[in-house]
Chains A and B, each alone.
Chain A
Amino acid sequence: MNTPALSAVSRAGRHVPDAVRLVEAYADGRDALHCTFEFVVPPAGGVTARPGQFFMLNVPGAGESAFTYSALPDAQGRFGALIRKTGTVTAALFASPVGSVLGARGPFGSAWPVEGLQGARVLVAGGGCGLAPLVSAVRALHGRAGRLAVLYSARDERARVLQRERAQWARDGIPLLDVLDAPHAIGPVPHLERVQAMLGGLPQHVLTCGPEAMMFALAHSLVQRGVPGEHIHLSLERRMHCGTGHCGHCYIGGAYCCTDGPVLDWPRVRALLGHAGH
């Protein structure tokens, strides 16, 4: 086999979780906890994750699920995740007191292309808890993008998440448009005129995460306005068991969300889903 040696294959933190401690958890939106974890034994060399990547959280006795980093691992090995209570694993997490030892594998997947957005007009558009994968991108783009605007839409007031982060963006002077969905105008599309005014023109690049219908409508509308499709980046969500491209659960057409995604550009998403785009 022309493959790497077995000894090089099994890396701690990729196939087998590192032990992490839940050091903080506070309510942050409906049925959502914003958690901070730290490695019990910080991995040698640290953990380098990029905005938009995810990790597999292991709640012993319950299972593993994929979560995006709301805060990337820092020099002390602390990282954050916004977690909604939706199933067995998250229910077990919500029942875990601060101080509990859990597990984490990662980072996995593709990242937002923040390095290439120097000086550009960038729109960050999140829907509901889809704002979570975008937080670290906003952090990375602040001061780097030429113009940056955040458009955040939520179903109602209680569905809004990441209150501390949004407050921080306001203090940092990052233009933020918080909107609630009108009954027949769901998502950010009705607000694009205001966003263009905030950016001083059509966005040159777009990062978006939220319900797929919302993202697809946004991408379609932006392409119609003249934004190149390959400049529109979406973060998709699928069920995952491994994070390494093996279990098969997260397939999107001929790709795997965990290794090819979760961040994909609009033409690729359209090709994978066979989405007509209109």
Chain B
Amino acid sequence: MSCLHLDSLTALRAHLARDHALLQVKADSDGNRRWMPADAGDAAPAGGQLPDFSAKALLFRERENLFTFDGSVFREQRPQPRPTVLFGVSACDLAAIHYQDRFFADDPWYRARRESLLLVGIDCLAPCEGGFCPLTDSGPFVRDGQADLVLHADDAQAGGGWLLFVQTARGERALAGFQGAVGADSTRATLRARREPGVVSQFADDGALRAGIAALNAGTVAAAQWQRLGVECITCSGCSNVCPTCSCFATRQESGAAGGVGTVRFWDSCLFEGFQREASGHNTSLQPGARIARFWSHKFGDDFAARFGHYTCVGCGRCDRACPSGIGAKATLRRLGGQQPGVVTTAAVDAAGRAGAAS
């Protein structure tokens, strides 16, 4: 696949916007970074500045109509989204989409939305706050085959500009007729070999996180420790909502406007107490420790990694930012690996309070 050099991204976005809705991560009026409609003249995307929410909701909708029943026939409700380009997707979020592509390979609703998307990735040239993508082999540079086109800020050239790597036939088709670039003599392999190790070396040491993963897979985490973590979880589902790979859902039926019955699915979380409760009341994951153990085993367990060829965590760090209890991925792995004290006890809080009152 080829490589091009562009002086700016304006012409490229204008070209892609002819046949696609153009989305890019931008700050909204509240300062939240999210995927929003963009114009060719918007500021260029920046690698390493993740949106608060990944692109998950664009593919695996928070609420999806599945099918309807009119009293005699069930009819699929297949989404028909407009062709859309996600311009500037970070490597970790692309790794998450790559995982979801395999997980939902035979899901018609996900597939219909996925096939409408053109993915333009962007290499991150510095660690983002809280990210640990090298640990899960999800970044900081876009992995092969996980985007149609990949952007790389070209600071090797005088005057900067961008390298654009064409990664798929779909990416090549999207560029048909594009005149705003010249050929460049670079390949992803040589670029990654030359530049990525330097970026990786800027990430914080992840030895404590690796120790946590090792303990999880060795089965040396005591049930009591899982239970301590479990009771700290307030089951807000913030982690599973922001997680770009979490995919649990539930279904329910709703009366349709035309008098029929619609079946919808909506995001669920395996951390909810009733997630596995059966109609009989039997609940195999009643204990919070069992639920939290399963959640992190799903993210970092060797059996899941073997099944999907990758940890289901991509190291984006969103769960650590979202969790009000401070037990996101990194915090949990450090505790599992024995590198960090456990619960802040009420006694410790009281002692701190007494110390504060005395000063």
B261 contacts A65, C-beta separation under 8 Å = no
Whole-angstrom CA separation of A138 from B107 in the bound complex = 34
Task: Check A1/B105 contact, CB under 8 A, given A17-B67, A241-B251, A246-B247.
Answer: yes
- Name the distance in Å between A39's Cβ and chain B's nearest Cβ: 12
Whole-angstrom CA separation of A253 from B105 in the bound complex = 22
Interface residue tally of chain B, by bracket?
35 or more
Instruction: Give the segment of A86-94, A106-114, A183-191, A223-231 that binds chain B.
Output: A86-94
B279 contacts A65, C-beta separation under 8 Å = yes
A4 within 8 A of B: yes
Interface string of A67-88 (1 = CB under 8 A from B): 0000000000000000000111
- Name the distance in Å between A131's Cβ and chain B's nearest Cβ: 17
Instruction: Give the segment of A8-16, A147-155, A158-166 that binds chain B.
Output: A8-16
A246 contacts B69, C-beta separation under 8 Å = no
A204 within 8 A of B: no
B280 within 8 A of A: yes
A247 within 8 A of B: yes
Q: Which of A224-247 contact B (CB under 8 A)?
A: 237-239, 241-242, 244, 246-247
- Name the distance in Å between A176's Cβ and chain B's nearest Cβ: 27
A62 within 8 A of B: yes
B106 contacts A9, C-beta separation under 8 Å = yes
Whole-angstrom CA separation of A194 from B284 in the bound complex = 33
Task: Check A251/B294 contact, CB under 8 A, given A60-B69, A103-B74.
Answer: yes
Whole-angstrom CA separation of A3 from B253 in the bound complex = 30
B74 contacts A58, C-beta separation under 8 Å = yes
List residues of chain B with CB within 8 A of the CB of A274.
219
Q: Which of B73, B78, B101 has the largest number of chain A CB atoms within 10 A?
A: B73
- Name the distance in Å between A192's Cβ and chain B's nearest Cβ: 26
B66 contacts A90, C-beta separation under 8 Å = no
B270 within 8 A of A: yes
A246 contacts B107, C-beta separation under 8 Å = yes
Set B67, B108, B251: member contacting A247, Cβ < 8 A: B251
A61 within 8 A of B: yes
Interface string of A232-276 (1 = CB under 8 A from B): 000001110110101111111110000000000000000000100
A61 contacts B105, C-beta separation under 8 Å = no
Task: Check A10/B105 contact, CB under 8 A, given A62-B253, A249-B276.
Answer: no
A241 contacts B249, C-beta separation under 8 Å = yes
A63 within 8 A of B: yes
Task: Check A18/B304 contact, CB under 8 A, given A63-B252, A248-B248.
Answer: no
Set A1, A4, A17, A251: member contacting B74, Cβ < 8 A: A17
Whole-angstrom CA separation of A6 from B307 in the bound complex = 22
A254 contacts B307, C-beta separation under 8 Å = yes
List residues of chain A with CB within 8 A of the CB of B303.
253-254
Task: Check A241/B250 contact, CB under 8 A, given A16-B67, A17-B67.
Answer: yes
* A interface, CB within 8 angstroms of B: 1, 3-4, 6, 9-10, 15-19, 40, 58, 60-65, 86-90, 101, 103, 237-239, 241-242, 244, 246-254, 274
What are 13 of the A-B contact pairs (CB < 8 Å)?
A1-B101, A1-B114, A6-B111, A9-B106, A16-B74, A17-B69, A17-B74, A63-B252, A87-B280, A103-B69, A247-B249, A251-B298, A274-B219
